[in-house]
């Protein structure tokens, strides 16, 4: 668990991403956070991050999580991220590592569903429970073979059968940020990012003609009704 690789990939004078100084990391509490960030980079993907041992363990999931237990989603293990990365939503400048638009797609807390998290991670069979705004219930990350000489491990993210399993595509049904109610194109637009590229990550049904002033209000009103 180290942020060396995370820091070595980024130029903090240029990118607004958090440097992850030790002082900004909160001590390990009883409930640990998770975040799923939707990231319009070279390829659109979802970054799945679980707090563990003072960092965010991270997997890049190209198609995002599926609530359908029959669907296995490829999850590439990537470098640990600092805890305060969990609230990062905005623009990574073009040309920088991961350049593009980042949305906080889901967040909440998680708990292990195994007696020993470190042993489960090592074994490559890691069960956990999510208490998110969109994602709930029991999930598993299973390690498969790595890709040749690549240092990155490939895993599969799979929903277990429980009352939160659903055949519906949650990435299409729930495309907006849980922290700001915005679509990717809204975030790109507000931060001077690549709006056209970001919009490709928004479901077509959600990408309505922009009504910049009123949109956030409408969304919070709709949320309150739920």
* Residues forming the site for Mn ion (CB under 5 A): 39, 47
At closest approach, how far in Å is the CB of 167 from Mn ion? 27
CB neighbour list of residue 102: distance below 8 Å, 6 or more residues apart: 37, 38, 39, 40, 88, 89, 90, 91, 92, 187
**In the complex with Mn ion, which residue's Cβ is closer, 10 or 32?**
10
**In the complex with Mn ion, which residue's Cβ is closer, 47 or 51?**
47
At closest approach, how far in Å is the CB of 197 from Mn ion? 14
Handedness of CA 72, 5, 51, 17 (dihedral sign): negative
**In the complex with Mn ion, which residue's Cβ is closer, 8 or 23?**
8
Using the structure block, give the residue that is written with the tokens 């429980």.
Answer: 162
Chain residue whose CB lies nearest Mn ion: 39
At closest approach, how far in Å is the CB of 58 from Mn ion? 8
At closest approach, how far in Å is the CB of 166 from Mn ion? 25
**Cβ contact 12:19 at 8 Å:** yes
**In the complex with Mn ion, which residue's Cβ is closer, 39 or 197?**
39
At closest approach, how far in Å is the CB of 21 from Mn ion? 21
**In the complex with Mn ion, which residue's Cβ is closer, 45 or 136?**
45
Handedness of CA 149, 153, 156, 157 (dihedral sign): negative
**In the complex with Mn ion, which residue's Cβ is closer, 120 or 157?**
157
Measure the CA–CA gap between 197 and 25, rounded to whole angstroms: 33
**Cβ contact 88:180 at 8 Å:** no
Of 216, 199, 189, 6, nearest to 98 by C-alpha is 6
At closest approach, how far in Å is the CB of 84 from Mn ion? 16
Measure the CA–CA gap between 13 and 64, rounded to whole angstroms: 30
């Amino acid at each position: 668990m180290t942020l060396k690789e995370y820091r070595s990939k980024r130029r903090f004078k240029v990118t607004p991403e958090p440097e992850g100084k030790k002082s900004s990391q909160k001590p390990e509490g009883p409930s640990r956070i998770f975040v799923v960030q939707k990231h319009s980079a070279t390829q659109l993907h979802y970054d799945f991050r679980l707090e563990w041992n003072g960092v965010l363990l991270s997997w890049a999931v190209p198609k995002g999580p599926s609530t359908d237990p029959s669907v296995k989603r490829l999850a590439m293990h990537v470098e640990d991220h600092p805890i305060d990365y969990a609230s990062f939503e905005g623009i990574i400048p073009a040309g920088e590592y991961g350049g593009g638009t980042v949305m906080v797609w889901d967040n909440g807390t998680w708990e292990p569903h195994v007696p020993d998290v470190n042993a489960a991670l090592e074994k490559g069979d890691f069960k956990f429970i999510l208490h998110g705004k969109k994602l709930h219930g029991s999930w598993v990350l299973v390690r498969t073979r790595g890709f040749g000489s690549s240092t990155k491990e490939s895993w599969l993210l799979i929903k277990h059968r429980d009352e939160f399993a659903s055949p519906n595509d949650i990435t299409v049904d729930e495309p907006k940020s849980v922290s700001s109610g915005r679509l990717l194109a809204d975030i790109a637009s507000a931060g001077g990012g690549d709006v056209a590229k970001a919009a490709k990550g928004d479901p077509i049904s959600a990408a309505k003609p922009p009504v910049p002033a009123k949109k956030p209000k409408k969304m919070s009103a709709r949320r309150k009704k739920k």
